[in-house]
Each structure stands twice: as C-alpha cells, then as structure tokens.
Structure 1
Amino acid sequence: MKALQSKFTSLGYRFALYIFLVFLLIGILFSVVSMLASLDRQITRIEGYLNDILAESIPHITRDLWITDYSQVYHQLRLIQVFPYVERVEVHYIGSQIITVGDIQREHYRLRKYPLIYEYDEQNKELGVLTVFIDYKQMQEEILSARILEFTLHLLLVIVLAAAVAVLFRFMLGRHLVYMTSFIQQNTDAEQWSPLCLERRTIFNDELSLLTEAFNSFQKEKSSILEQKTDLSLRMEELARDKETFLSIISHDLRSPVSGFKNLTSLLVQDFERLDTKELRTMLIELEKAGSRVYDLLENLLEWSALERGKLVPRKDRLPACLLLQNAFENMEHHARTKNITLNISCPEDCFIAGDERMTMVVLRNLISNAIKYTPVGGSVHGEISKVDSMVRFVVSDTGTGMEPETAAKLFDRRQKISSVGTEGEKGAGIGTVLAADFIALQQGKIWARSEPGNGTRVCFTLREWKNGEPASP
C-alpha cells in the first residue's frame, strides 16, 4: 500500500496531474468561450431575420397608415408578431391613436422602435412610431438549452485529450524527472556532493530527446545563417553607398576643377602674348587654386580607397601632439595666406599620443582645410591641445560662417554627404570629414563638432595618450 501511495505521489505523477489540470482548465475555458460565441452568432442571426421582415413590412405599414387602411396595418403587424420571440407590436399613430397586436407574457423584454415616415410631394411626413417587444431572455434560454449537448461533448473531449497528454508526459518525460530527483536526493544525503554530469543514457534515447537535439541544432544553424545574411546585407548597402559617392566625386567634384584647369591653360596658350602681367598673375592664382583642389581631392580619394580595401592598418607610435599640430598648420599656411586668415595654436610641449602619424596628419589637414574654406577673408583659425583623463583632445576652431547644430551632428556620418561652397567659392567633395571620422575610429578615438550659424565651428577629436613603457608598433 505504501509503495502504491509513493508511486502516485512521485514527482512524475504530480507533474502529470498538473499537466492534466492545466489542459482541463484551458479546455473548459475554450468550451465556455465557444458556447458564448455561438450564442452571440445565433442571436445575431435571429435579429437579421427580424430586420429583413421589418424592412419589408414597414413600407406597407406606412402606406396603409397614410391611406387609413387599418385592416392592412393589422395584417402587417400580425406578420411581424408571428416571428419567434416577438410578444407584442404597437403602432403609435399621430393623434395618440395606438394599434396593438399581441400581449406581454413576461416582464423581461426589449423595445425596438422604428419611425414611420411617408414621402409625399417630395416631403417626408412623419406618421408615427412602430414599437416591437422582443423577449431576449426566452431567446437566450432556448439557444443555451440547445447548446448544452454540444458543450457536454466538448467537455468530454477536453477531458480525454487532457488525460492523453498527461499520460504521454508521464511516460516520456516523467522518468527523466524521477531520475534527476533521485540523483539530487542521493547527493543531498551523501557526505560529499558529486557534480551533475548530463550524459546520453539508454533511457533517454527516445524520439522526444532526439527531436529536441535536432531542433536545437537547426535553430543554432538558422540563427547563424541569418546573422551572416544580415551582416552581408548591411555590407552590401554600405558598399553601394560608397560606390555611389565615389562615382559622384569622379563625375562632378573631380571633373569641375579639372575642367577649369584645362580651360585656364587653354586660354593661357591662346592669349599669352596679349595678356598683361596683372591678368597673367590672376590666371596663375586661379590655376594654383584649381591644382590645390585637385591635389587635395586625389589625396583623399587615395586614402579612402586604401581604407576601403583594408590596406590601412593603424600604427601605435609615440607621437608628440604639439609637433603634429604645428606641422599641419604650417602645411596650410599658403591656403590661409590667400584669404588673409590668421593661424595660431596653443599646446603643451610634453603631450604625446599613441597613434598613427599618417592618419592623424590626414585628419588635421582636412579639418584645417575646411576651417579655412568656410572662414571669410581676415578671419582666424585656432588649434589647441589639452589632456582629458587618459585622452588627448585636439580642437580646431574658426571664426567662419558656421552651420546649423543639426547639420553639425551629422557631419561625420558616412551615410550623409554634406558639402557646401566656401566663402570664396571653394568646392569640396564632402569626403574629408568622413575620412577623418574613419581614421579617428581606427585609432579608438572620438570626433565631434559644435557650431551655430554665424558663430564659427569648433571640431574636436580625442586620441589615446601615450603611457610610459607601452610597446610601439614594430
């Protein structure tokens, strides 16, 4: 007796009982909901039949009232009152006259009223109101009594299905729970705890465990393929944008300065003897500007091409930050001199960064070039360096035209192509800022801009400070 009691109170049987009760509860809820939905559908169907009868009878009642043929009115009301669950039909005619068919047998009913309107000489004449007394309580009782057998059959089916699921659970999973329970109990009673090692045993070699392993393996493989597909799709979109940008630069931004350079040289060749010294100087200045734009654009394109092909790997060298800033400003002096722009810097001498000299100089060159481009004649461009925690912050600020804060926030987003004409008509491809952002990211730094229209622009980027004893790139 104790063995039988222990068997039916084991963990496997308790779980089977819980499964049975859960499925039984769900089945009962489903049966009740199904019965209520069936009740609503039946009531809606009956109301539809009644509406059809009323839609056919009301025009006749209205016409008969207009011609005062009350016998036909009674006839139409009897046709409506014969319909099941309609206890009484009344017509409240103008002048307080009431025509009634049927009697009230119960207290529970609902009133449905319909206006009786007759069209005469293109005018609507209101003749009265038709009132129908419907016994909804009797309707619901009869429909429910007809659904009791259906509900009983549903309930029996639910009980059978719940019992079948509980039995299957007991024989397929219950033994696993019993094994794990006995294992834990044995280790709890023992003096030392032995680690639980899950192995495939003979009793586990059933269809459920094999199916579970196959499903898990399929899900992992499917997730891996979806991740690879998503990465490839994003990479393809990025390559398509880069290709579009590159073609735009080749077809427009590079063609324009080269075309201007060609036209100026052709003009010099044809009219050299007729040009005076002042005109020659002006044309040579324009040639120098066009050559500088082409050179800067080609430099950026070559750097960008090497970056996209994965040919650039950042070095980690000990670089003097102040010397880098000084060299970058010195390289841009001839650009600033043509617009009478003042260049000045402020930086500590004992500040070193761990970075790539070539990439850092490209970033500084582009930022200073942009500052000069958007600064009017007689303005100034300032560079400064400071230490912030374990980072070194470079700042290039100008007194130029500035831009909207929303535009400044998207300045270093490679998905955005932001380019505008400088204060002296200088043009750019818009890839200098994107190239700078990529080079800073490769060196594990950050870059951002702050600007307002008419108040200049302040561009900042950070690079990691060199730590003593840190190994440099070979």
Structure 2
Amino acid sequence: MNPIIRYINKVVLSADIAAYPRMEDKKKSILLHLFFIFYFLVVSGFVVFNLVTDNIPFLIANCLGFVCGFILFYLYRIRKLLHVVTSIFIVTLTILVTFFIQTGGIKNTALVFALLLPLPVILLLGKHWGLFTLVAFLAVNTLGFYFFHDETWFPQYNLTMMGRTGLVFLLISLTAYSNEYVFELLYLRLEKLSDSLKISQQGYKNLAMNKERFVSMVSNNLGDHIGSFAAIANLLKEDYFELTDQQRMELIRSLANISQQNFKLLQDLMKWSTVQSELIPFSPKPIKLEKVYRDVIELFHPMIEEKNLSFFLKMKSNSEVFADEDMVGAILRNLVSNAIKFSHSGGEVKISAVENGDRMVVTVTDNGAGMSRETLMRINSKIPFSAAGAIPETGSGIGLILTREFLQKNHGELHIESQVGSGTEVSFTLPLAE
C-alpha cells in the first residue's frame, strides 16, 4: 500500500468510532476528527505567520482559536461529548471566520476564509441545520457589509472577488449538501438492512434454541415410551404362563396404549416438521366457529362417551373469525383433546366464544386435574416453545407447540390459567371477520 494512503488510513481510523453505536455518529466522529486536524494545522500556520509579521491582534485571535480548539478536542476525545462539541466547534469556526471577514484579515484576503465553512458545517450538522447555519452566516456578514462598509476600519473588498468567492462558496455548499443527501439515503438503506439482519439472526437463534428443546423433549418421550414398552414386553416374555388372563390383558392394553402414543408422537413430529419447513398452505378466510366446534366434538365423541363428560357450548351461531380453517380446527382439536384427557370421569368441559373489540376470545375450560404453579409459569412463558411438553399428559406435548405455531400465523395469542385439582382454562384469540 502507498505510504501516503497508509498514513491517511491511520489518521482516519484513529478516530474513536467504537464509542458511538449509530452509523451517523460514527461518520460525524471521523469527520470531526479530520476537521480538528485541518483546523489545528491552519491555525498553527497563521500563528507562525502572525509572529513573523508581528501582527499582534490577529496573533491573539489565532491563539485564542487554537486554545478553544484544544479544549473542544479534549471534550470530544476524552469526555465523548460528540454532539455538544460538534455544535460548539461549528459556532467557534463560524465566529472566527466572521471576525476575519469583518476585519479584513491579511491585505483584505479574509473573504477566502468563508470557503472553509460549507463542508464542516453541512457534513457535521446535517442538511437542515447546516443550511440554516450557512444562511445565518451569510445574513450576518451581509448586514455587516451594509452597515459598516463606509467605516474607515472596514475592509474594502473588490466586488469581482466577492462575486467569485460567493460563487465558489455556493458550489461547495451544494456539493456538501448533495454528499450529505446521498449519505443519508445510503445510511437509511444500510440501517434497514442491518435491522433485517438482526431480526434474521435472532430468528435463527430462536429456531436453533427451539429445535434443541424440541429434540430433547421428543427424545425424553421416546425414551420413556420405548423403555416402558420394553419392560412390559420383557415381563410378558418371562412370566407369561405365571400371569392370569386378566393380568396379561392389562399388559397387552398397556402395550397397545404405548404403541398409540408412539404413533401419535410420530404424527405430531411430522406435523411440526411440516410447519417448520412452511409447507402447510396458509389460506385465511371468514369461517364460522360453530362448524369447527361441531367437527371437533364429532371426532372426540367416543372419548366423551367413554368418560361420560358433559360438554357446554356458549357462542353465537354466526360467530365468524378471519383465519385458516384447517389451523383453527387443529388448535381447537388440541385444546379439546387435552381437556378430555385431563378431565375426571363424569366431568364437565365448557367452550365459549366472546367478541372483544376486533378479536374473538375462545375459551376451553375443564374441571379436571389442573396444573401446578411452576408448570403454569413455564407454559405461559413468552419465550417461543419454552412451554412445550409442560402439560402433565401422557402424550408428546407437541400439540401445544403446533397450537402456538398456528396461532402465531393467524395473529392470535394463547393464555392458560390453572390450579391443581380445580381444572384448567385455556383462552386464545383470533381476528374477527369483517
């Protein structure tokens, strides 16, 4: 790399950009750092020149400017007062340039100092405040020329020089303004891209975390089921002839039950995998809740009859929600299945649907076993899937995961309340059909 370019990179990177999280502040830090360097070089040159020419008034002004610059640099670099120092730096620079223009400088050449302002003012203060500051600077100096141009102490500037300087001033200002405008557009796009990447990164983290928990839960369920199956099968093998017919039938029922649980586990696992790969079509439309309820009750009718459960429905016959019908059916099937599973024989299950603003609140209540406070806290956790498998059931617990997934797709929420021995109340919301 070219030594000059290497040195420039070193100077630019010496700015303390790590102290500022926003891209805009990083840019401002680098620019302010560079402008301070240029400022100190220029003022140091003037101090030396004024010493040589024995120009005491300008020597004092330049020394004061150097001291002010050093104090501001300390506040910027050490105290990290970026925005405060930026404003004071621009005000100080503007006052110094105004002072030189109004007093003439060296042989009435101070007008050229005005060309030092547009770049730092617009790039550091931004388009709007920078433009306002430049307009105020021009207004002050124009008023000074108008009121004091006849005074003996006021410099007699050449009109041709004033016109040329003004034209260059305007061109530099437009260039700085255009640069700031383009940077702002690029910055906004970069900020959107950065936000999108952060969301994606968090999504991947959540997905990885959820998959780990999911695999752990499935492994535990499979391990328990297969272990129980193996133990019962081994018992039948070793003690088949010593067992009574009734005992053998009980063990066979247990094997059949475990087999059904494993089959349901695999089905739920396949459903979850399909949801994760987004292969399930999502087709929201106005649907009647009562029809979904009737289909679910018909499906579970044998289980309801077997446990002699009483079902109560409270909803308007024309209650409609805007959601995917298959997903709403799966949500209600999972919740009703749990209510039936944990209800005692002869128990009650109540289902209600009540409108609340632009949402429909559907509640499934049972008076069965209920859940402990610790289990309930895990289930109602806002962390995605953290409650998976928390319900004390003999199934896989994946149904709750699918319920949360489907509700999330349909812009709904899930909430569960329960007490040990008093039953469980599960509520979920869905958007109302217009």
Same fold (TM over 0.5): yes
RMSD after superposition: 4.0
Task: Report deviation, 1:361.
Answer: 2.2
- Which residue does the alignment assign to 2:409? 442
Query: 3-state DSSP class of the match of 2:428?
Result: strand
Amino acid in structure 1 at the alignment position of 2:399: G
Q: Does 1:247 align with 2:215?
A: yes
Query: In 2, distance between residues paired with 1:364 and 1:294?
Result: 22
The answer (yes or no) to whether the contact 1:385–1:395 under 8 Å persists in 2 is yes
Structure number with larger C-alpha Rg: 1
Larger helix share, 1 or 2: 2
The answer (yes or no) to whether the contact 1:421–1:428 under 8 Å persists in 2 is no
The answer (yes or no) to whether the contact 2:370–2:423 under 8 Å persists in 1 is yes
Q: Does 1:322 align with 2:287?
A: no
The answer (yes or no) to whether the contact 1:343–1:380 under 8 Å persists in 2 is yes
The answer (yes or no) to whether the contact 2:379–2:388 under 8 Å persists in 1 is no
Task: Report deviation, 1:458.
Answer: 0.8
- Which residue does the alignment assign to 2:330? 362
Structure 2 counterparts to residues 222-301 of structure 1, below 5 A: 222-265=190-233, 267-268=235-236, 275-301=243-269
Amino acid in structure 2 at the alignment position of 1:366: N
Query: In 2, distance between residues paired with 1:169 and 1:337?
Result: 92
Q: Which of these residues, 296, 300, 308, is aligned with residue 276 of structure 2?
A: 308
The answer (yes or no) to whether the contact 1:324–1:361 under 8 Å persists in 2 is yes
Task: Report deviation, 1:215.
Answer: 3.8
The answer (yes or no) to whether the contact 2:415–2:426 under 8 Å persists in 1 is yes
Task: Report deviation, 1:229.
Answer: 2.7
Query: 3-state DSSP class of the match of 2:414?
Result: strand
Amino acid in structure 2 at the alignment position of 1:359: M
After superposition, the C-alpha distances for 1:377-429 in whole angstroms (9 at most, x for unaligned) are 5533332334445544322111132343961772574252354574xxx4344
Structure 2 counterparts to residues 331-346 of structure 1, below 5 A: 331-335=299-303, 340=307, 342-346=309-313
Structure 2 counterparts to residues 387-398 of structure 1, below 5 A: 387-389=355-357, 391-398=359-366
Query: In 2, distance between residues paired with 1:311 and 1:257?
Result: 29
Query: In 2, distance between residues paired with 1:460 and 1:213?
Result: 51
Query: 3-state DSSP class of the match of 1:314?
Result: coil
The answer (yes or no) to whether the contact 1:318–1:355 under 8 Å persists in 2 is yes
Amino acid in structure 2 at the alignment position of 1:382: K
- Alpha carbons of 1:213 and 1:241: their partners in 2 closer, same or farther (altered >3 Å)? same
Task: Report deviation, 1:439.
Answer: 0.8
Query: In 1, distance between residues paired with 2:432 and 2:317?
Result: 13
Task: Report deviation, 1:268.
Answer: 4.5
| Count of residues in correspondence between the two structures | 294
- Which residue does the alignment assign to 2:17? none
Q: Which of these residues, 370, 374, 385, is aligned with residue 401 of structure 1?
A: 370
Amino acid in structure 2 at the alignment position of 1:313: P
Larger strand share, 1 or 2: 1
- Which residue does the alignment assign to 2:38? none
- Which residue does the alignment assign to 2:152? none
Task: Report deviation, 1:169.
Answer: 7.0
Amino acid in structure 2 at the alignment position of 1:307: V
- Which residue does the alignment assign to 1:147? none
The answer (yes or no) to whether the contact 1:346–1:384 under 8 Å persists in 2 is yes
Query: 3-state DSSP class of the match of 1:402?
Result: coil
The answer (yes or no) to whether the contact 1:371–1:398 under 8 Å persists in 2 is yes
- Which residue does the alignment assign to 1:432? 399
Amino acid in structure 2 at the alignment position of 1:177: V
Percent of counterpart pairs with the same letter? 19
- Which residue does the alignment assign to 2:387? 417
- Alpha carbons of 1:289 and 1:206: their partners in 2 closer, same or farther (altered >3 Å)? same
- Which residue does the alignment assign to 2:135? 177
The answer (yes or no) to whether the contact 1:417–1:431 under 8 Å persists in 2 is no
Query: In 1, distance between residues paired with 2:319 and 2:178?
Result: 64
Amino acid in structure 2 at the alignment position of 1:458: E
After superposition, the C-alpha distances for 1:248-287 in whole angstroms (9 at most, x for unaligned) are 1332112322343344345546655654331233123313
226-235 vs 157-166, which moves further: 157-166
- Alpha carbons of 1:317 and 1:345: their partners in 2 closer, same or farther (altered >3 Å)? farther
TM-score by length of 2: 0.55
What stretches of structure 1 of length at least 5 have no aligned partner?
Answer: 1-150, 182-200, 468-474
The answer (yes or no) to whether the contact 1:383–1:395 under 8 Å persists in 2 is yes
351-360 vs 455-464, which moves further: 351-360
Query: In 2, distance between residues paired with 1:241 and 1:301?
Result: 17
- Alpha carbons of 1:176 and 1:304: their partners in 2 closer, same or farther (altered >3 Å)? same
- Alpha carbons of 1:233 and 1:346: their partners in 2 closer, same or farther (altered >3 Å)? same
TM-score by length of 1: 0.51
Query: In 2, distance between residues paired with 1:373 and 1:282?
Result: 20
Query: In 2, distance between residues paired with 1:456 and 1:230?
Result: 41
What stretches of structure 2 of length at least 5 have no aligned partner?
Answer: 1-59, 70-91, 99-112, 122-130, 140-168
The answer (yes or no) to whether the contact 1:417–1:430 under 8 Å persists in 2 is no
Structure 2 counterparts to residues 82-93 of structure 1, below 5 A: none
311-320 vs 228-237, which moves further: 311-320
Query: 3-state DSSP class of the match of 1:445?
Result: coil
After superposition, the C-alpha distances for 1:323-369 in whole angstroms (9 at most, x for unaligned) are 3223323433555566x462413144443444323212221222123
